Chain A
Amino acid sequence: MKTWRAAIAALATASLFGTAAAAEKPSELRVGVTTFLSGPASVFGEPARVGAEMMVREINERGGIGGVPVRLIFVDEGAGGEHVVSEFRRLVEQENVDVMFASISSGNCNAVAPLAEDLGVLNFMWDCGTQRIFEEDDYRYVFRTQAHATPEMLATLLYLLKAKPDFQTIAVVNQDYAWGRDSWDIFSTALRALKPDVRVVAELFPRFGAPDYSTEVTRLAALRPDVILSTSWGGDLDTFIRQAAQRGLLQQSTFVLPLAESSLERLGRSLPPGHIIGARGDHYFLHPEFRDDPDFQGFMEAFRAETGAYPIYPVFHMSQAIAALEAAYLRAIEANGGAWPERSQVVDAMAGLTFQGLGRPVTIREDNQGLEAQLIGMTIHVDEFPFAVLDDMVIYDPRDITTPVGMNSIEWLRSLTPDFVDSVRIDRFSHAQ
């Protein structure tokens, strides 16, 4: 059986590349992208798809990567885990894709990472949050072109500790699924290490996709915690914030919302000033360091013209994956003396690679984890926008807040002490500046 297949594979390779040792320039660079096109998470998956198409169009207009145009093939993660796994196989083995971007869902990242390793295909985990994958195994073919839950939560907590150092009580309202649980594990572990005197007064995990949070809002209104944390996203976060706003809860407690950058525009003015917002990275359509850059501005407006909304963090994550793709290929071509590289050469080029999407540059660490800066800010209402924007922004240096190589996130967070808060490198920005 195996010899048969090996023979066929050899035949296919021979006919594809001819007999020359160096790879010939292919007619196109094929990239498989798993993203949510259906289901509730398509609020992230759709904008990312549109963004990817716009960015690739731009690359192809200037001649592609190293003269080779890029083609994207999308897989709907909303069709379920087994669909993603079998489509991943089909794209790699039949469509012969060069690189895979997978995925948004942490569950799918878990399933696909070992698969990519076994198939020997370069895979970028472009959006999933789970911190576990590189902490549990070593990979050659799998890279993460963004941060993971630990720096995202830690940055949020550090901001909170500076912005509201005296808070005594906190409640959490997270979606009842892996992300909601994991992110609270990380946040609460770090909180116990950095400010042990805080009391957790309620841990609520309403159903994923719950249409109504009245009971949670009532209970929180009765408890009056100083701070309410919610790592929810999409429709769930919108519903929770609106129902809380309608009933005055946002006047009573400070909300900490590490994913709310993706909801700002939809929430409009119902999100009042003075609440803490994160973006899973330094992702913000008014990024304080780039908002005057014509390319950055141009993309933001073009995206808005195409979709009716400003880009949200998954679009930025996608831009990083595409930037990594281009940077890796250009580096591999250079290393290959200008000739089109073998796939293994592209994988080699990933080591220590630095690339820049729509945010600050990201660097790949020796454990294949990307070091991505984190931007956290406080809501403010301004005249130019009919929705809350960010003020008092802080950008955190990823080297300080990302779990060190070879360590387990939870153990690392436990080892932190309160003086860690002042030891991290930050840059401050205001909206007006």
Chain B
Amino acid sequence: MTPQLALLATLDGIAYAALVFMVAVGLTMIFGVMRILNVAHGSFYAIGAYSAASIVLGLTAAGMNPWLVFPGLLLAAVGVGAVLGTLIERLLLTRIYTKEPVLQLLVTFAVFMILEDVQRLVWGVRPYFAAEPVYLLGNVQVVGIFYTAYQLILLPTVALLVLVGLRLFLRRTLSGRLIVAVTEDREMATALGINAGRVFLLTFVLGSTLAALGGALASPTTSLVPGIGADMIVLSFAVVAIAGLGQVEGAAIAALMIGLGRSFAVYVMPELEVVVPYLVMVIVLLIRPEGLFGVVERRRI
């Protein structure tokens, strides 16, 4: 493999990792705070993507200023996260916080199954594609190969902003600190009078919005078909498990590992491409079950 090809593989890996990171980081935050592995997270990704595509296609059809599509993508993500996230958290999850983890998991599994059919009823089965944002930004040339600026520049930039923004939010703002407090020690935090219910809602909406944002940003580059959520959710599980549950920065690094592993595999051993994320996950978990950056849980006596 020449250095040039290695550079190309790296660029591809980063673009892919950026999308995976945005979805996975939402999942890991929700788990960190609520201790629920949210299977329905993949549905937020899918619905975010479908809504974004509808908005972009609608704007384009209405002949509006094409640059409006970018706020459109953001609007789709926030809308899905806020409306659907609030509904699910308030109507369903609040009823199960005291239940066994397996029941909590199954509730999200049930939501996932229901939302799979909702997507089909709303958007049908024809693949959706709304590439307008990619065309607007044009192409960039790197060592003789065309890349879309959207994938090469916009996606990694947004991912980086999300990472930095989350860090600042969690460390510098009151709401963020409350989230961190609940993540680290729920009993102590509630004993100190933190309203866990509010923190849960905030986290769930934020996490869902991130998943929907991942979907919205993926929609201009990929076809939306039934079943995209199911695939994304296992991939995010892999990222979250590799990073360690609840690890925001760790999720970024794990996403990069998977993205780069995958793109290098395409050059070196294409046959391995599909297995890469799960192989990495098995190896990491066997060596460090709490994940690369996870904290060992204390055992109760």
* Chain A residues proximal to chain B, CB less than 8 Å: 38-40, 42-43, 45-46, 78, 176, 202-207, 209, 211-212, 214-216, 218-219, 221-222, 234-236, 238-239, 242-243, 246-248, 266, 270, 309
Contacts and interface: CB of A to CB of B under 8 A. Distances in A.
Q: How large is the interface on B (under 10, 10 to 19, 20 to 34, 35 or more residues)?
A: 35 or more
A382 B103 CA distance: 57
Contacts, number: 122
A222 B127 contact: no
B267 interface: yes
B86 interface: no
Interface in B1-35: 4-5, 8-9, 11-13, 15-16, 19
Contacts of B4: 222
28 contacts: A43-B125, A45-B125, A46-B126, A78-B226, A176-B274, A204-B266, A206-B273, A207-B273, A211-B222, A211-B231, A212-B222, A214-B12, A214-B151, A214-B221, A215-B266, A218-B147, A222-B4, A235-B222, A235-B223, A235-B224, A239-B222, A242-B223, A246-B131, A246-B134, A246-B148, A247-B146, A266-B127, A309-B126
Given A38-B120, A39-B227, A40-B225, A211 B145 contact: no
A248 B134 CA distance: 13
A238 B222 CA distance: 8
Given A211-B222, A215-B9, A266-B129, A246 B135 contact: yes
A36 to B, nearest CB: 8
A214 B16 contact: yes
B227 A209 contact: yes
Nearest to A267: B129
Contacts of A221: 145-146
Nearest to A42: B125
A235 B225 contact: yes
Nearest to B117: A38
Closest 8 pairs (CB-CB, A-B)? A235-B225, A235-B223, A42-B125, A235-B127, A215-B12, A238-B223, A211-B222, A215-B263
- Report whether over half of chain A's contact residues are helix, strand or loop; otherwise say mixed: helix
Contacts of A248: 139, 146
Contacts of B101: none
Nearest to B125: A42
Contacts of B5: 222
A211 B218 contact: yes
B270 interface: yes
Contact of A43 (B127, B144, B218, B274): B127
Nearest to B15: A214
A242 to B, nearest CB: 6
Nearest to B265: A215
A201 to B, nearest CB: 12
Contacts of A247: 139, 145-148
B266 A209 contact: no
B129 A46 contact: no
A212 B16 contact: yes
A219 B9 CA distance: 8
A78 B120 CA distance: 13
Contact of A46 (B9, B125, B131, B147): B125
Contacts of A222: 4-5, 8, 144-145
